[in-house]
Amino acid sequence: MRRLFRQPFWYTVAMNSSESESVGTRGRDSYAALRLPQYRLFTIGRNISGAGDSMQAVVVGWELYARTHNTVTLGLVGLVQAAPILIFALLAGHVADRYPRKLVAVTGQALFAISSIALAVLSLCHAGIGWFYVCLFCGISVRTFGNPARTALLPQVVPMAYLGNAISWDTTIRRVAVMSGAALGGFLLDWSGRPIFIRYLPNLAHGVHGVHGEHRDGYPAVIYLMTAVLGLTSAVLLTRLSVKQATRVPKAPITWESLMGGIRYIRSTHIVLGTISLDLLAVLFGGATSLLPVYQKDILHVGPEGLGWLRAAPSAGALIMAFVSAHLPPMRHPGRAMLWAVVGFGISTIVFGFSRSMPLSLAALVIVGGLDMVSVVVRQTLIQTLTPDEMRGRVNAVNSIFINSSNEIGGFESGVLAHWTSPVFSVVSGGIASILITIYAAARWPALTNYNAHDTVETRN
């Protein structure tokens, strides 16, 4: 079995030359991290909340578009969720480096679960759209503080020798969680609108459409409550972590100098700067996810369950890529692989944009997710292994600004462009932009093409 499942290329990226020698035989165990009880607790706690987030993301977009039939509404969902990241991320990184990370992560997770309960109440009361935006803003605000701390916990949970293996498995499990959460969200949305469900909950408020007792479109509140349950379970599991004591850093006052520490570090580490920037720009223009409710309803003409499968398809592709890569020999030049992956990402996005067939659309999204997996794992592994522990919170916070805000701002850009042109033009032009950005990145950051996985830490900068 161990011979069959060799280490994927990003595990080689994770080890610098000095560590590679010391973990020689241990590095051959593809399941090394999964054998650690504390790691299993960490990744289960972290990723069941990811499944809930994916369920909620499917339903928020579906509900607001069903009520307004306006793509700008979907764009505003992205903008409202990007704003807290841009406003609070640097402060969140400072908090993660100055206070107990487990406490910060658990608190953020619990408060986010409460925001999901609030969404359920708003949905049942058929509240105004503006209240949904307020609730989303508050939920992402607390998540912004929790995420850098939770991500920075990983090197305190597993030995450094197993960190690359742990990141690759965590990313794979994350994709499974997102995939299953998206599909389950669509399924539950469809199921909750059936008469058998309404019969057992006769006092529920009306759904998004229809007359009470005859509703077929579903009750989003069911999914919001399920997200809250998973979030609270995640918080409980994270409280049971036994975290290795990190180097104590004095609780210095918040200054501009301390807040900017993560940005300075990334600017000085060119390979990290190149991978983060390429990922940011490609996702900013090439993401079609925010327009999936439009494709589901108006272009592909499938029901709510179909939306769940569309949302799950990229994660399915990422999962397939994770296992395929495990059978390939280690790559010496992962930066080049990342550049080609983003080009393929753009081409697949263009195919999805033009597609009018559900099978072809699903296939294109599967490829999009598989190729995106390459850049995600390379980027995250480099950040975790090259960053000193006392800076991991701030560097992960800056990374969240780059990556998470690009997803949300990209959603806003796609929604507005679709409103002024068409959904097809918005998606296709985004795919073309991703290809052009890759060409620019290869010329702007030669470290991406020249990077060798066998280089020492010093030569990567």
Of 41, 46, 266, which is closest to residue 157 (Cα–Cα)? 41
Give, in order, the Cα–Cα distances in Å from 142 to each of 23, 129, 133, 227.
38, 21, 15, 15
- Residue predicted with more confidence, 272 or 245: 272
The one-letter amino acid at 164? G
Spatial CB neighbours of 220, under 8 Å, sequence gap ≥ 6: 59, 60, 62, 63, 119, 120, 123, 189, 207, 208
Contacts for 183 with CB less than 8 Å, ≥ 6 apart: 308, 309, 311, 312
Instruction: Give the DSSP per-residue string, 55-97.
Output: HHHHHHHHHHHHHH--HHHHHHHHHHHHHHHHHHHHHHHHHHH
Provide the domain limits for residue 203.
34-240+256-460
Least-confidence region, from 29-38, 58-67, 132-141, 445-454:
445-454
* pLDDT higher than 90, residue 134: yes
Query: Is 183 exposed, middle or buried, given 0-12, 13-18 or 19+ CB atoms closer than 10 A?
Result: buried
Rounded Cα–Cα distance for residues 91 and 87 (Å): 8
Least-confidence region, from 12-26, 79-93, 207-221, 329-343 = 12-26
User: How confident is the model over 46-100, as pLDDT tens digits?
Assistant: 889 888 888 888 888 888 888 888 777 877 887 888 788 778 877 877 787 788 8
Q: How far apart are CA 406 and CA 381, in angstroms?
A: 19
Structure tokens at 283: 């996702």
In a domain, 20, yes or no: no
CA dihedral over 274, 279, 280, 282, signed as positive or negative:
positive
> What is the domain count for the chain?
1
- Nearest CA to 372 out of 431, 329, 328, 414 is that of 431
- Please give the pLDDT value at position 24: 40
- pLDDT, tens digit, 9 for 90 and up, residues 395-440: 777 777 766 666 667 777 787 888 888 889 988 988 898 899 888 8
In whole angstroms, give the CA distance from residue 74 to residue 411: 7
Q: Judge whether 110 lies within some domain.
A: yes
Confirm if 381 and 33 have CB atoms less than 8 A apart.
Answer: no
Backbone angles phi, psi at 390, to 5 degrees: -70, -5
Cβ burial, residue 453 (10 Å; 0-12/13-18/19+):
buried
Distance, in Å, from the CA atom of 307 to the CA atom of 365, rounded to the nearest integer, reads: 12
Structure confidence by residue, pLDDT tens digits, 319-348: 788 777 655 665 667 778 788 888 999 999
How confident is residue 224, by pLDDT bands cut at 50, 70 and 90? very high
CB 452 within 8 A of CB 333: yes
CATH number for the domain spanning 187: value is: 1.20.1250.20
* 247 within domain boundaries: no
For residues 376 and 353, is the Cβ–Cβ distance under 8 A? no
What are the Cα distances from residue 128, in Å, to 56, 146, 348? 18, 28, 37
Mean pLDDT for all residues in the chain: 76
Q: Are 231 and 49 in contact (CB under 8 A)?
A: yes
The answer to whether residue 395 is domain-embedded is: yes
Residue type, 98: R
Q: Is residue 202 situated within a structural domain?
A: yes
What does the pLDDT average to over 36-52? 89
Q: Does residue 86 sit within a domain?
A: yes
Comparing 131-140, 176-185, 281-290, 434-443, the range with the smallest average pLDDT is: 281-290
Which ranges constitute the DSSP H helices of 158-219?
163-192, 195-200
Is 92 among the domain residues? yes
Token digits of residue 287: 């993401």
Q: What does the pLDDT read at residue 257?
A: 61
The DSSP secondary structure of 276-330, one letter per residue, reads HHHHHHHHHHH--GGGHHHIIIIIS---HHHHHHHHHHHHHHHHHHHHHHTTSPP
In a domain, 7, yes or no: no
pLDDT at site 213: 39
